[in-house]
C-alpha cells in the first residue's frame, strides 16, 4: 500500500496554475481537485459508489458532527470512515473548529465566502479559552470541550488519510486585535495538534483507525495582510505538516476574498500542497487555480442540488429547475454533459420531480452537480497540461 507523497507535474509560466499528484494509502489524487463534503459520513442523497462512478477522487467528513453522532469510537470499531461509509479512496476530516465557531458566531460560514447573512442559527459556542472551546451539543444539550488534543484523537478514530489542526475561525467583522489574538491562539493550538498527532497515546504515531495519516496546517489572519504573512511564516517554518490550508475569514465581498486569497497564495513556498477551505464556486475555482491552489472543498454542489439548482457553464453558473419556464422544456440540463442525468432526463421531468417533491429529484440533480464539478476540475487539469488555460477558462465562463 502506497504512502504519502506530493509531486508537482507541471506549472504554467504565465501564472501559478499547476497540476500534480497527491499519493495516499487509499489512492492518488490528481490536482487541482475538488473535495465533496460527506459531512455526517454521507453524501446527501448519493452513494459513495455513485460518487466514484462520477470520477470523485476524495471526500470530506466533519469531525464536529461525527463526534456528536454516532461518536468517533463507533466509527473506529468499523475500521474507520472508509469502511463505515463504503469508500475506498482518499478522505479528509476537518478539525471541528469551523463548526463550533460558525455556530458560535451564527453567520461566519457566509462571511468567509464574502457574503453577509441574516442567519438565525442558534448559537451553541459557550466560551473559548487557551484549553479549547466549550460548546453545547445540539444532540442532547450537554456542555462539551473540544481541545486540540481531543480533535486529533477524534480524527485518529475517524481514520481519514488527511486530518487538520484545530483552530479558531473568526468572522470578518471582529476587530484587528481580536483577530490577532485569535490567530496567535490558533498557532499555539496548531503546535499542540502537531504534538498530539506525533504522540503514541492510543495509536501509533501518525496512524489512525484506517492506517497512516498526514496533517494539514491552517493559515489564519482574517482580512489583514500582515497577519496572513505572520501565519504563513509560522506554518512554513515553525511546524512540519504535509500540506497547508488557507482558512479563516476572507472578507465581506467577492473582491476582498479574491484579494486575500491571491495575496496569501502568492507568499507560499510551493513545497506543500495548498488547500482552500470552504470555496466551491466554479468561477472562484478558475481564479484561484491561477494562484496555485491545489484542492478545494465546499458543500455547495450538493446543497444547490437539494434546493433545485443545477450547475451550468457560464458566468451565471446555475439554473433553478423549480422555475416554471422549465415545465415543458424537453432538453437536458446540458446537451453536451455526459452525466447519467443529462443523458437520460429532460428539464421538464426534473422540474416535475421537484414540483412533486419526489426524492429522486435530489439524487438526479446531485448526480449532475457532482459530475459537473469533477468535469470542471478535469478540464482545468487538461488545460494546464496543454498550455491552454486562458482559452479554456474564457470558453467555460462565456458560454
Closest CA relative to residue 354, chosen from 319, 311, 307, 317: 307
Give me the pLDDT at residue 109, please.
Answer: 47
Which residue matches cell numbers 467555460? 396
Asked whether residue 43 is domain-assigned, the answer is no
Asked whether residue 246 is domain-assigned, the answer is yes
What's the rounded Cα separation, in Å, for the pair 358 and 352? 9
The C-alpha cell at 99 is 463548526
Asked whether residue 71 is domain-assigned, the answer is yes
Candidates 161, 167, 281, 297; catalytic one: 297
Give me the pLDDT at residue 105, please.
Answer: 59
Candidates 50, 94, 167, 284; catalytic one: 94
What's the rounded Cα separation, in Å, for the pair 314 and 311? 9
Closest CA relative to residue 297, chosen from 317, 316, 280: 280
Number of structural domains the chain divides into = 1
- In this structure, what CATH number is given to the domain that contains residue 164? 3.20.20.105
Give me the pLDDT at residue 106, please.
Answer: 52
Give me the pLDDT at residue 111, please.
Answer: 42
Asked whether residue 3 is domain-assigned, the answer is no
Residues of the chain with confidence (pLDDT) below 70: 1-2, 104-122, 399
Q: What is the DSSP string of 185-217?
A: HHHHHHHHHHHHHT--SSS-TTEETTEE-EEEE
Percentage of the chain exceeding pLDDT 70: 94
Rg (CA), the chain: 20
Helix (H, G, I), strand (E, B) or coil at 331: coil
What's the rounded Cα separation, in Å, for the pair 114 and 107? 11
What's the rounded Cα separation, in Å, for the pair 312 and 337? 10
What's the rounded Cα separation, in Å, for the pair 112 and 271? 26
Which structural domain range is residue 256 located in? Answer: 62-298
What's the rounded Cα separation, in Å, for the pair 362 and 383? 31
Asked whether residue 359 is domain-assigned, the answer is no
The C-alpha cell at 97 is 473548529
Give me the pLDDT at residue 120, please.
Answer: 52
Before 198, cis peptide (omega within 30)?
no
Asked whether residue 82 is domain-assigned, the answer is yes
Is 28 one of the catalytic residues?
Answer: no
pLDDT tens across 304-341, in order? Answer: 999 999 999 998 999 999 999 999 999 999 999 999 99
pTM for the complete prediction?
0.94
Asked whether residue 357 is domain-assigned, the answer is no
Is 297 one of the catalytic residues?
Answer: yes
Asked whether residue 122 is domain-assigned, the answer is yes
Amino acid at each position: 500500500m502506497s504512502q504519502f507523497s506530493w509531486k508537482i507535474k507541471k506549472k504554467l509560466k504565465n501564472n501559478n496554475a499547476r497540476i500534480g499528484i497527491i499519493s495516499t494509502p487509499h489512492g492518488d489524487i490528481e490536482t487541482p481537485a475538488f473535495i465533496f463534503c460527506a459531512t455526517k459520513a454521507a453524501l446527501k442523497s448519493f452513494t459513495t459508489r455513485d460518487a466514484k462512478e462520477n470520477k470523485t477522487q476524495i471526500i470530506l467528513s466533519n469531525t464536529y458532527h461525527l463526534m456528536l453522532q454516532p461518536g468517533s469510537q463507533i466509527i473506529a470499531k468499523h475500521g474507520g470512515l472508509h469502511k463505515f461509509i463504503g469508500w475506498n479512496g482518499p478522505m479528509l476530516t476537518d478539525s471541528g473548529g469551523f463548526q463550533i465557531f460558525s455556530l458560535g458566531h451564527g453567520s461566519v460560514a457566509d462571511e468567509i465566502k464574502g457574503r453577509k447573512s441574516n442567519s438565525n442559527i442558534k448559537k451553541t459556542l459557550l466560551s473559548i479559552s487557551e484549553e479549547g472551546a466549550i460548546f453545547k451539543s445540539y444532540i442532547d444539550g450537554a456542555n462539551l470541550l473540544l481541545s486540540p488534543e481531543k480533535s486529533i484523537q477524534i480524527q485518529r478514530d475517524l481514520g481519514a488519510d488527511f486530518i487538520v489542526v484545530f483552530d479558531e475561525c473568526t468572522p470578518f467583522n471582529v476587530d484587528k486585535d481580536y483577530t490577532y489574538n485569535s490567530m496567535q491562539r490558533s498557532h499555539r493550538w496548531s503546535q499542540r495538534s502537531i504534538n498530539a498527532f506525533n504522540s503514541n497515546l492510543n495509536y501509533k504515531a501518525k496512524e489512525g483507525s484506517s492506517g497512516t495519516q498526514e496533517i494539514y496546517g491552517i493559515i489564519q489572519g482574517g482580512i489583514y495582510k500582515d497577519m496572513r504573512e505572520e501565519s504563513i511564516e509560522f506554518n512554513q517554518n515553525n511546524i512540519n505538516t504535509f500540506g497547508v490550508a488557507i482558512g479563516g475569514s476572507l472578507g465581506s465581498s467577492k473582491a476582498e476574498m479574491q484579494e486575500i486569497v491571491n495575496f496569501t497564495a502568492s507568499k507560499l513556498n510551493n513545497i506543500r500542497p495548498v488547500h482552500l477551505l470552504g470555496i466551491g464556486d466554479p468561477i472562484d475555482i478558475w481564479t484561484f487555480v491561477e494562484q496555485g491552489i491545489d484542492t478545494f472543498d465546499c458543500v455547495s454542489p450538493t446543497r444547490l442540488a437539494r434546493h433545485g439548482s443545477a450547475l451550468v457553464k457560464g458566468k451565471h453558473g446555475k439554473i433553478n429547475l423549480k422555475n416554471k419556464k422549465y415545465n415543458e422544456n424537453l432538453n437536458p440540463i446540458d446537451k453536451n454533459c455526459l452525466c447519467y442525468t443529462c443523458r437520460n432526463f429532460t428539464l421538464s421531468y426534473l422540474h416535475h420531480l421537484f414540483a412533486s417533491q419526489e426524492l429522486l429529484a435530489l439524487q438526479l440533480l446531485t448526480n449532475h452537480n457532482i459530475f459537473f464539478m469533477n468535469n470542471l476540475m478535469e478540464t482545468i487539469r487538461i488545460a494546464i497540461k496543454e498550455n491552454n488555460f486562458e482559452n479554456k477558462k474564457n470558453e467555460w465562463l462565456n458560454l
